[in-house]
Structure 1
Amino acid sequence: MRVRNRRTAAWSLEAALWSAAKASAHVLDRLHEWGYREADTAEAALTDLLVRTAVADGDRRVSVHHADQNRQALIVALSHQPGPAVADTRVLAELTSLGAVSCGTDTADDGRRVWAVLDL
């Protein structure tokens, strides 16, 4: 996965129940640092769902990658679990209901990615 020509941040966390809340706090802190003072519960809830989905894949760690561009944020959770991504339309529908303007899931050599883009 490549994200170019924009501000980015990334965190590696243990794949544990507490990881979703920690990741949400990291993303909100970074959004506020980047000047998006209005970022709050919607961004936190969306990050929480992405990370919980990655944790459920069963690996020992998850990575959260975050970028912004033109008042939109990209948030990606990577499970590092090899193999095909589990098709779960419920997760994509829930991401959309939380405000994602685009979202998806795919599998690469480095594991399953679950991602969402939202307007800020």
Structure 2
Amino acid sequence: MKNRRGSSWTLDAEPWIPAKAAAHVAEKLTAWGCKPPAPLEDVVSFLVTAVITDGSRRISVHVSEQNHHVLILALSHQTPDTAVDEDVLPTLRDSGAVSCGTENSSEGRQVWALLDLTS
């Protein structure tokens, strides 16, 4: 994350974690002097919920800001048994993501969204 601000949190994969993760990201953006975008809470909650379904005991949420955009990534830390739900990417786009994606890696499932901080 060279040349950009970033932060991350490792969280237990519990039902209340999506809201807690959204609050962490909003607080960090505010501390950086950025106004959290309107879809932030819904997008972060959705990202976290998507990786919690992999069955891991913990997940992590990563956030970085650069050029008036915020990238939020949720990571399951467990290799998933199934493909990501077909509705994940369309839902993220409909929620206001400028760009979004998902990838399975040896670190687990990654689901991310890029939000514009100027709108």
Aligned amino acid, residue 53 of structure 1:
A
Say which of 4, 29, 42 aligns to 1:6.
Answer: 4
Question: Partner of 1:55 in structure 2?
Answer: 52
Q: What is the RMSD computed on CA atoms of the aligned residues? A: 1.3
Hey, what's the Cα distance between the residues in 2 that align with 1:68 and 1:23? Answer: 16
Q: Which runs of 5 or more residues in structure 1 are unaligned? A: none
Of all paired residues, the percent bearing the same amino acid is 45
Question: Partner of 2:74 in structure 1?
Answer: 77
Worse overlay, 40-49 or 57-66: 40-49
Report if aligned partners of 1:85, 1:107 keep a CA contact under 8 Å in 2.
no
Aligned amino acid, residue 94 of structure 1:
T
Report if aligned partners of 2:54, 2:80 keep a CA contact under 8 Å in 1.
no
How many pairs were matched up?
Answer: 117
Q: Which runs of 5 or more residues in structure 2 are unaligned? A: none
Report if aligned partners of 1:74, 1:117 keep a CA contact under 8 Å in 2.
yes
SS at match of 2:111: strand
Shift of 1:41: 4.1
Say which of 30, 33, 38 aligns to 1:32.
Answer: 30
Aligned amino acid, residue 76 of structure 1:
L
- Deviating runs (4+, > 3 A) in structure 1? none
Normalised by the size of structure 2, how large is the TM-score?
Answer: 0.92
Report if aligned partners of 1:106, 1:112 keep a CA contact under 8 Å in 2.
yes
Shift of 1:82: 1.4
